[in-house]
Structure 1
């Protein structure tokens, strides 16, 4: 019944509702349960027995072994594992039972904006906090499918700030992304605000492949619902691999124990972008140098800008380690063997904005970073 192979994760069931400020403030006085990594979520506790967890007797300093399984429990363990569709449906039922009354529709998107504590009166509860930073999501190891793929659907994260979907990737069926063997990465457009790791973060995946025959239903690429805990052992310190029936999903991510939210903005202030000149705007931090985040990739050479020169970035939100983290933003251009590149770096502020200019010879771009503390009491 586990989401991924034994040894990488164990089942865990949410037994309560929302975490509260009171629970958080007193957690040092509570004996913590064993912490797991990636686990399947959403099975109502009436559908299967809770996992047997080894517990420590604090008075005697001994370990109590779990009771042997009953005949009924052994028969349940031998049952066929749930399908990906059933996992998603189980999670929906769980979410609606625990959070539906307070947070509304299961399909609702988070409405909380970024830069909440950047300017004006800073709430007294605002502080640096643990966050989950997503760099990329790769589709690999196809089974029963072949490249290229016309992919639509979404990948979203839910944290304990509001339990609603914070989309990382989202494409409609009429606007699919084409994945190829040479470029199998989903074009991420989120998150829309920092994803906090106060509690385990739930990640939803619903991806399908558009078929060319109108009479045929779209094929499932990957369906999944799982929790990410900061103790999950990452490959190379950066990658988490999630096997599905039709493919492998490789998440490049990092857990930042203490961080601020930064919002990146870019504006063309001098010159112009050359025609048919491919461009790339990326960023990374000094704490996770190998984790490069693509903010905008325009291979067609058409720089998307508004009337005032503001560049329409695909992604804007970056978490940066506190207290002395640095953020690096690079703008790259290339055409017919010609290339130009400039990088600016920003030292951290607790709030407010920082501005630097990238000079690419043929144009200048103003890069602005807005720094914000985070708050779970919004």
Structure 2
């Protein structure tokens, strides 16, 4: 996804290009390729907890929404590219949104939220985190693709800790779009990894799976199949778009809910389950 030399697209990538040069100079000897995906996954200590453990702050990402188009772009748009974040665990990319040009998401003026696909593990706030955004609008050919948003910015968890425990928004304005980033700084938090398996009953249904915590009731969308059937594997497992949620470690309660219906039926069946963490250290 490199722009043509001297083009307007290259100018729009200036901020992101400067960040890439900074990261390469600082971390390439330790972390190799700037595009390397984090190799640290969730549930690392489920079977064998570490000898020493403590609760640290985590960042929960709720949504990225394109709230405005400016310049040459008009609705609807077919979007591809990436949004990723780096923390001090390994400095590699933890993808929040990732789509190839052949797998775009169509956004409209009334439906402009990106379907997030991460993070693949919790985002640690021990040191400042760094976000990268490179989103493009698909054209009739690769040479006609246009930059939607190209940003690099940081979040300093130490400096912002006085604002933790509530929903926050950040507006990211560029030459062609404005993105609204909704997030929360979760203090002394745990990483919850969620999976659902069908053990009986009907398997053909449309569904929306949601998680939220007691203190911040903003929804984390794990999966929203829309008008399509929920994909279920041969062993009954549902493949979520997202599966990791940050949860308050001190008195936190995680609620997982499902809103399901048969295709073409307006009757929605709702069910939910509360989970309370048990700390053993």
Instruction: Give the structure-1-normalised TM-score.
Output: 0.67
Structure 1, unpaired ranges of 5+: 1-81, 352-372, 374-378
Return the match for 1:223 from 150, 156, 167.
Answer: 150
In 2, Cα distance between the equivalents of 1:216 and 1:113? 36
Deviations 1:250-309 (A, max 9, x none): 1110001210101000000111134xx4310011000111x2011011113311111110
User: Which one of 103, 109, 123 corresponds to residue 50 of structure 2?
Assistant: 123
Residue from 250, 253, 256 that aligns with 1:329:
256
Q: Tell me the residue number matched to 1:345.
A: 274
Change (3 A) 1:302 1:337: closer
1:114-172 residue CA offsets vs partner (Å, 9 max, x unmatched) = 1112222x212332111110011101111021111100000000001100000000000
Number of matched pairs: 265
Structure-1 separation of matches of 2:12 and 2:142: 23
Does the 8 Å contact 2:167/2:216 carry over to 1? no
Q: Give CA deviations for 1:212-241 in whole Å, capped at 9, x if unaligned.
A: 2x274200000011101234579x842111
Offset from partner CA, 1:7-48 (integer Å, 9 cap, x none) = xxxxxxxxxxxxxxxxxxxxxxxxxxxxxxxxxxxxxxxxxx
**Counterpart mapping for 1:81-92 below 5 A:** 83-92=11-20
Query: Structure 1 stretches (4+) deviating beyond 6 angstroms?
Result: none
Tell me the CA shift for residue 94 of structure 1: 0.8
Deviation (angstroms), 1:336: 3.0
1:1-378 equivalences in 2 (<5 Å): 83-120=11-48, 122-144=49-71, 145-212=73-140, 214=141, 216-230=143-157, 231=159, 237-274=167-204, 277-289=205-217, 291-334=218-261, 335-350=264-279
**TM-score of the aligned structures, taking structure 2 as reference length:** 0.89
Superposed CA offset, 1:76-109 (max 9, x none): xxxxxx9441211111111111111011111100
Partner Cα separation in structure 2 for residue 171 and residue 160 of structure 1: 25
In structure 1, distance between residues paired with 2:156 and 2:117: 23
C-alpha contact (below 8 Å) 1:260/1:350 kept by paired residues: no
What runs of 5+ residues in structure 2 fail to find an aligned partner?
Answer: 1-9
- Counterparts of 1:217 and 1:146, CA distance in 2: 14
1:319-372 C-alpha deviation (Å, 9 max, x unpaired) = 101121010001102343211101111011237xxxxxxxxxxxxxxxxxxxxx
CA distance in 2, matches of 1:320, 1:262: 7
| Structure of larger gyration radius | 1
Cα distance in 1 for partners of 2:74, 2:171 equals: 20
Q: Secondary structure at the match of 2:13?
A: helix
Q: Could you say what the CA RMSD is over the residues aligned between the two structures, in angstroms?
A: 1.9
